[in-house]
Amino acid sequence: MNTLSRSVGSPVSRVDGPLKVSGQAKYAAEHFEPGMLHGYVVLSTVAKGKIATIDVTAAEGCPGVVRVYTHLNRPKAASRDGKWQDSVAPPGSPFRPLESDEIQFDGQPIALVVADTFENARDAAALVVATYESLEARTDLAQEYRNSYVPPKKRSGIPAAPKPRGDAEKAYSEAAYKVSADFRMDGEHHNAMELFASTVFWEANGQLTIHDKTQGPQASRDYICNVFGLDADDVTVKNAFVGGAFGSALRPKYQLFLAVMASIDLKRSIKVEMTRREMFYLTWRPSTIQTVSLAADEHGILQAVMHHAVQATSTYEDYQEVVVNWSGLAYKCDNAKLTYELAKLDLSTPGDMRAPGAATGVAALEVAMDELAYEVGIDPLELRIRNFVHRDQDNDKQLTSKALHSCYREGADAFGWSKRDPAPRSMREGNDLVGWGMATGFWDAMLMAAEAEVRYSADGKVTVSAAASDIGTGTYTILAQVAADEFDVPVDDVTVLIGDSTLPTTGVAGGSWTAASSGSAVDAACKAVRKTLLSQAQEIESSPLAKASVEEVRIRDGRLVLDTNSQIGVSLADILASKQMSSISEAGKVGPDLVQMMSFKSYTHSAVFVEVKIDEELGVLRVTRVVSAIAAGKILNPKTARSQILGGVVMALGMALHEEGMIDHRTGRIINHNLAEYHIPAHADIERIDVIFVDEHDDKVSPIGVKGLGEIGVVGVAAAVSNAVFHATGKRIRDFPITIDKIIIDKDALQ
């Protein structure tokens, strides 16, 4: 680790910021080529059944229309037999458009209209006429709950529910205090600012350059090569800038398939961009119905934890998240029974959405913990402290670090938690009932395989390259910081090249692991450059560094010097000149430490404190303050880090209060497929949010001590809001989102 850091740990502004605010950063749909084609997708208007007829003659006769593709004339792709897996993250058999006449979900693409302009394609698409043999669609999780099943095959990388430990049923029945409650969470729909889009540039030699909205350019490339039988050398995927993704762009979406299919077939460049409406049919956060049962003794010490979750999936994939496992590792408890099942709905396969599984599972656990605190009659924060655990009991492993006590303490101090009157409806301000609630948050800290290359040039400039992605998180900036410190140059002297499948191998940007993984790969590459520089310096006659080891030298002010005495050293220019080189570049590579993983697990932690004010007569709820105290190891950049947590909190307030995918279960159709009727937090909904990063030193989680921040900001927030609503009103709301009707519907709650 760098000891003399000056960039790492500083609030460096995004290096890509000026390009973004001046409109020069080009997103997937913003690349053009004269004469290129445009595709527009036609969507099914039934949720289940078969296409009986599809008439494209009117559309084909429209001005500028080049081709209309349906299942009847779609060019062949690699065959699939139902078991065949596409090469994607997360693994599975994602929906492929125009494959057959079968309709599996509302909004399924049934045709692609290709024309000379977007407007012509859209006009013609309106004239495609389909008739259906429609079947009854089952889209109500409450109805399908009874048909739930244990996933037959676990999703790769996603642990199944842990085996039960102790005897939770018995401990529960014998305990002095207990709570058992059901929770319902509606589906949420991914709506990043940037729509899914793929721009495919076709070259005469058959090579494709594709600008795709993705969290992994190599994942999209591999998918395309797999599906269309192309050579990896002939396909380049770029995602230099991504306008938000949050998990939605881990998997390739159908517009990528359609754009590449049409490009190969027509031998033309083409762009297919989704409409906002299309975003609502894909990769949604699955709805859940959960039951959490907790029991404690008279001191509030947990005796039993039981958590059962049934989560929605599609009819054609067993999509899985880690929903219940958190309940077994959150607090010390020797009797735990956690069960996780799926229920099939006639909707598209759900997908990862920022803190998948934890956002929903921890919300249920943390509301139940608040209920238990009231049962036992102790402070909710005190209940959590009394049940603190220093081990991962699910996996029976040690933790690499857990500074959660600091989160509790610093968060509570900043919020003023000690001034809370615990009685519901006890705190008021004018017409408002004031409620204070809190919760704990948990997320994984993971190191994934990642590679990077670093080049140092004689002019003192540094270039970092990796097929990593910046999905709005700050990857460009933090990778520049890591390299800047190693070479002792300003961040402005570092160029970061990412978002290109031809660069050193890197997985998708997900799971909050990019900073730890790619940051460590860059660090390793920098050290490899330093090592080479040292060996070259030692070949110089009477080298002052002749006896130094690589650990003993640092780059300072353009020279390779002894760490203990910066006057002893050789200038980098002289080292390069001695070899007649104008630059030097080395590769770095990191991956999970499999031996360490046998005894250790790593998590990020948070303590979230929320204040709500609820108009007693109107039931209008405002979240007036949030304090989120985070333990996530080393913070590379407090500015981009804070932005990650702010964004996570805002997104979680959407989950807690606004976001609600509404389905007409009579037809299986999604009703509110637009941002007018699907509510998300707007500026006026967001008041004060304070972010605290507590000190946490972790020398095991990743080579650079970083844990990752993309997701932890979400976890726990919805529970803290619900707990604050209870404190304000005396009404426990376990059905998310907490909309005004749920607050006022029970007249007793608000007199």
709 lies in the binding site for ligand MOS (CB under 6 A)? no
Token pair in block for residue 14: 């995004």
| 138/136 Cα distance (integer angstroms) | 7
| 639/15 Cα distance (integer angstroms) | 12
Q: What is the DSSP letter of 575?
A: H
In whole angstroms, the minimum distance from the beta carbon of 284 to ligand MOS comes to 12
In whole angstroms, the minimum distance from the beta carbon of 400 to ligand MOS comes to 20
Residue linked to tokens 């209309």: 68
647 lies in the binding site for ligand MOS (CB under 6 A)? no
- 403-462 residues in contact with ligand MOS (CB under 6 A) are none
Q: Are 728 and 614 in contact (CB under 8 A)?
A: yes
In whole angstroms, the minimum distance from the beta carbon of 604 to ligand MOS comes to 13
698 lies in the binding site for ligand MOS (CB under 6 A)? no
Residue 251: is it exposed, middle or buried by C-beta count within 10 angstroms (0-12/13-18/19+)? buried
Neighbours of 282 (CB within 10 A): 24
CA angle, 90 then 502 then 448, to 5°: 40
250 lies in the binding site for ligand MOS (CB under 6 A)? yes
The residue (of 474 and 511) whose beta carbon lies closer to ligand MOS is 511
350 lies in the binding site for ligand MOS (CB under 6 A)? no
With contacts defined by CB under 6 A, name the span among 243-251, 542-550, 624-632, 726-734 that binds ligand MOS.
243-251
286, 356, 472, 504: residue in contact with ligand MOS (rule CB under 6 A):
356
- 191-230 residues in contact with ligand MOS (CB under 6 A) are 215
115, 353, 364, 367: residue in contact with ligand MOS (rule CB under 6 A):
353
With contacts defined by CB under 6 A, name the span among 80-88, 112-120, 352-360, 379-387 that binds ligand MOS.
352-360
| 459/466 Cα distance (integer angstroms) | 22
Total binding residues toward ligand MOS, as defined by CB under 6 A:
10
510, 569, 705, 713: residue in contact with ligand MOS (rule CB under 6 A):
510
Q: Are 431 and 725 in contact (CB under 8 A)?
A: no
Q: Establish how many alpha carbons lie within 13 A of residue 142's alpha carbon, considering only the half-sphere containing its beta carbon.
A: 8
Do β-strands 450-457 and 462-465 pair in parallel, antiparallel, or remain unpaired?
antiparallel
In whole angstroms, the minimum distance from the beta carbon of 481 to ligand MOS comes to 22
With contacts defined by CB under 6 A, name the span among 307-315, 347-355, 417-425, 439-447 that binds ligand MOS.
347-355
The residue (of 70 and 248) whose beta carbon lies closer to ligand MOS is 248
| Active-site residue (options: 188, 371, 586, 711) | 711
Among 578, 577, 528, smallest CA distance to 555 is for 528
In whole angstroms, the minimum distance from the beta carbon of 286 to ligand MOS comes to 12
In whole angstroms, the minimum distance from the beta carbon of 353 to ligand MOS comes to 6
713 lies in the binding site for ligand MOS (CB under 6 A)? no
| 284/380 Cα distance (integer angstroms) | 32
C-alpha torsion sign, points 145, 151, 157, 163 = positive
With contacts defined by CB under 6 A, name the span among 103-111, 246-254, 439-447, 677-685 that binds ligand MOS.
246-254
648 lies in the binding site for ligand MOS (CB under 6 A)? no
Among 281, 347, 283, smallest CA distance to 315 is for 347
Q: Establish how many alpha carbons lie within 13 A of residue 167's alpha carbon, considering only the half-sphere containing its beta carbon.
A: 5
511 lies in the binding site for ligand MOS (CB under 6 A)? yes
Neighbours of 418 (CB within 10 A): 9
352 lies in the binding site for ligand MOS (CB under 6 A)? yes
Among all residues, whose Cβ is closest to ligand MOS? Answer: 247
675 to each of 47, 610, 659, how far by Cα in Å? 21, 26, 10
In whole angstroms, the minimum distance from the beta carbon of 80 to ligand MOS comes to 25
247 lies in the binding site for ligand MOS (CB under 6 A)? yes
CA angle, 527 then 604 then 160, to 5°: 105
The residue (of 504 and 510) whose beta carbon lies closer to ligand MOS is 510
In whole angstroms, the minimum distance from the beta carbon of 103 to ligand MOS comes to 28
3-class DSSP assignment, residue 620: coil
Which backbone phi and psi does 714 adopt, to 5 degrees?
Answer: -80, -40
Active site (annotated) includes residue 711: yes
List, in sequence order, every beta strand (DSSP E) within 355-407.
391-392, 397-399
With contacts defined by CB under 6 A, name the span among 349-357, 430-438, 695-703, 734-742 that binds ligand MOS.
349-357
354 lies in the binding site for ligand MOS (CB under 6 A)? yes
Q: What is the largest CA-CA distance in the chain?
A: 89
Under the rule (CB under 6 A), what is the footprint of ligand MOS? Answer: 215, 246-247, 250, 352-354, 356, 510-511
Q: What is the set of active-site residues?
A: 711
